[in-house]
């Protein structure tokens, strides 16, 4: 297989009107990644060296999006929607380069398993000219039936054209197809449009190839692999399937998910063995977690790196650029953004740390914030190793708290604190005996007069 060249033609020109969205259907995300990108990743994992993406609706938007997840894809525009064979032929220039295998896929089937594509390619390597991926279902109503004879696929019959006996067939067309490169163009060019809609159907190449004495076979896959997304309800269904797969994969690799159905991963989440994830945790893109971490309930994490044996949450938010080193702690109702929390440092309660470094072993008291933004620019706060910042302190960046520095509770720090220095940034307290009672009496009298 590794010696066979492969082109994947991914059809992504559909308008997706049932999504009721200004965004192209195939750009709607599953696990934080556009569904068409999932298809591309599967094609690449199956050994497809080149990609041809056939686009239509939202062509400019698609071009911009593919720069992020498919730099090597060659884009072709299907100006008129005249059927699936017509869409494939929009990529004629790519197909004509002489690949061994051509995979025809759909940009709205994000759950395709690379192993299904590999199995189809293997059948091409064994001599098949066309391989159709099908699925079995106890309720085939509405699906095209795969008609087989003697181990060969002789036709794909739409339900309205099936005989009563053919309607009993439970092996149905999944849409995905593999075609031997040496036959691809001549088969596609023979597809006609003599049908009610006047369109060119890719499925017609099954009978065309069979009529030429070429081998046409079916490859079976689970229904999830060919599940197409047409509306928001189906998008949510696909998200659920993807998440279920990923949760199981995580647990089998040594991760504890206490309530797996409440944990949501992104397409690129990396999580090490012996990590414990409590209920209701959301991982956005760009999260890497080493072994032995604890992620407590209701935490929201994206773009973050979490080292071994860290403790996060509950109700913590780690935003992009958060970098927690070994045994660091970010506790309840804390937010961290673009900051390094070094080994053993503690950010325990009700705290915001942004554009900062918290040194190893430092302790940040409850209610502390780094004042990093002046409305125009961001500034850096550097907190040294072993420093102690008392509760309810505001560190006005740019500012440095030296190694072993101590900030008294309730301080507003606008000047750097030297190593082992002690800083007070608050007004001196005054206590006036008896004045509290006098103040209450004055307020009560004023309130009574107002009511009167």
Same domain membership, residue 207 and residue 274: no
262 and 127 within one domain: no
Q: Domain for residue 273, yes or no?
A: yes
Query: Looking at residue 57, what is its pLDDT?
Result: 65
Of 207, 226, 245, the position where a domain reaches its end is 226
In this predicted structure, the answer to whether residue 159 has a pLDDT above a threshold of 90 is no
> Are residues 207 and 262 both part of a single domain?
no
pLDDT averaged over the chain?
94
Q: What is the tens place of the pLDDT at every residue in 192-249?
A: 988 878 889 999 999 999 999 999 999 999 999 999 999 999 999 999 999 999 999 9
Query: Exposed, middle or buried by CB within 10 Å (0-12, 13-18, 19+), for 395?
Result: buried
CB atoms within 10 A of CB 69: 15
Model confidence over 380-407: pLDDT tens digits? 999 999 999 999 999 999 999 999 999 9
**Which of the four pLDDT bands, split at 50, 70 and 90, describes residue 128?**
very high
Q: Supply the residues annotated as catalytic.
A: 349
Residue 373 labeled ligand binder: yes
At 43-91, the pLDDT tens digits run 999 999 999 999 986 677 777 877 788 778 899 988 888 899 999 999 9
Q: 81 in a domain, yes or no?
A: yes
Question: Do residues 215 and 283 share a domain?
Answer: no
**207 and 270 co-located in one domain:** no
Crossing angle for the helix pair 114-125 and 35-45, to the nearest 10 degrees: 40
Residue 13 counted as an annotated binding residue = yes
Quick one: 290 and 375 in the same domain?
yes
Domain membership of residue 444 (yes or no) is no
Query: Which region, left, alpha or beta, applies to residue 266 given φ > 0 means left and ψ of -120 to 50 means alpha?
Result: beta
Tell which of 183, 208, 226 closes a domain.
226
Is the predicted pLDDT of residue 296 greater than 70, yes or no?
yes
Residues 313 and 176 in one domain: no
Residue 294 annotated in ligand binding: no
Q: Is residue 452 part of a domain?
A: no
* Alpha carbon distance, N-terminus to C-terminus of the chain: 93
User: pLDDT grade, residue 123 (50/70/90)?
Assistant: very high
Residue-wise pLDDT for 162-206, tens only, equals: 888 889 999 999 999 999 999 999 999 999 988 878 889 999 999
pLDDT at 2: 62
* CATH number (domain holding residue 105): 3.90.550.10
Q: Binding residue per annotation — 99?
A: no
Mark whether 236 and 222 lie in a shared domain.
no
| Residue 436 burial class via C-beta count within 10 angstroms: exposed 0-12, middle 13-18, buried 19 and up | exposed
At 1, the pLDDT band (50, 70, 90 cuts) reads: low
Asked if residue 434 is part of any domain, the answer here is no
Domain extent for 345: 232-423
Q: What pTM value is reported for the model?
A: 0.89
Q: How large is the average pLDDT for residues 257-264? A: 98
Paired tokens of 416: 């750097």
Among residues 195, 226, 257, the one where a domain terminates is 226
Residue 141 counted as domain residue: yes
> Do residue 324 and residue 205 come from a single domain?
no
132 & 253 share domain: no
Indicate the number of domains in the chain.
2
User: Does 14 appear as a known binding residue?
Assistant: yes
Q: Is residue 435 part of a domain?
A: no
Same domain assignment for residues 24 and 73: yes
Q: Are residues 266 and 398 in the same domain?
A: yes
* Domain assignment present for 216: yes
The lowest-confidence range among 108-117, 197-206, 293-302, 327-336 is 197-206
């Amino acid at each position: 297989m590794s010696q066979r060249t492969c082109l994947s033609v991914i059809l992504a020109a559909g308008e997706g009107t049932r999504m009721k969205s200004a965004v192209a259907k195939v750009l709607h995300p599953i696990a934080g990644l556009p569904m068409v990108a999932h298809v591309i990743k599967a094609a690449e994992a199956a050994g497809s060296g080149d990609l041809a993406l056939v686009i239509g609706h939202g062509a400019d938007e698609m071009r911009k999006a593919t720069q992020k997840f498919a730099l090597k894809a060659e884009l072709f525009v299907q100006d008129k929607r005249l059927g699936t064979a017509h869409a494939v032929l929009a990529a004629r220039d790519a197909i004509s380069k002489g690949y061994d295998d051509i995979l025809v896929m759909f940009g709205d089937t994000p759950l395709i398993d690379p192993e299904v594509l590999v199995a189809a390619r293997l059948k091409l390597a064994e001599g098949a000219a066309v391989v159709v991926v099908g699925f079995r279902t106890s309720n085939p109503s509405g699906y095209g039936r795969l008609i087989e004879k003697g181990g060969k696929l002789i036709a794909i019959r739409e339900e309205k054209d099936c005989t009563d006996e053919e309607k009993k067939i439970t092996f149905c067309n999944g849409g995905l197809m593999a075609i031997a490169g040496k036959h691809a163009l001549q088969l596609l060019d023979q597809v006609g449009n003599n049908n009610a809609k006047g369109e060119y159907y890719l499925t017609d190449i099954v009978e065309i190839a069979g009529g030429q004495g070429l081998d046409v076979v079916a490859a079976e896959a689970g229904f999830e692999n060919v599940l197409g997304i047409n509306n928001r309800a189906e998008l949510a269904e696909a998200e659920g399937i993807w998440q279920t797969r990923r949760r199981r994969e995580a647990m089998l690799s040594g991760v504890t998910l206490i309530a797996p159905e409440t944990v949501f991963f992104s397409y690129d989440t990396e999580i090490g063995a012996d990590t414990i994830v409590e209920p209701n945790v959301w991982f956005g893109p760009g999260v890497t977690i080493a072994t032995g971490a604890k992620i407590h309930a209701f935490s929201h994490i994206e773009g973050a790196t979490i080292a071994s044996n860290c403790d996060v949450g509950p109700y913590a938010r780690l935003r992009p650029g958060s970098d927690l080193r070994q045994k660091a702690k970010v506790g309840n109702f804390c937010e961290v953004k673009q900051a390094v929390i070094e080994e053993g440092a503690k950010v325990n309660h009700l705290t915001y740390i942004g554009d900062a470094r918290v040194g190893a072993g430092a302790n940040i008291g409850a209610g502390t914030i780094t004042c990093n933004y002046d409305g125009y620019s961001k500034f850096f706060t550097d907190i040294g190793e072993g420093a102690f910042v008392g509760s309810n302190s505001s560190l006005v960046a740019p500012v440095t708290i030296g190694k072993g520095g101590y900030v008294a509770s309730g301080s507003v720090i606008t000047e750097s604190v030297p190593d082992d220095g002690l800083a007070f940034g608050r007004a001196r307290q005054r206590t006036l005996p008896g004045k509290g009672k006098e103040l209450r009496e004055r307020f009560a009298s004023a309130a009574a007069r107002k009511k009167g």
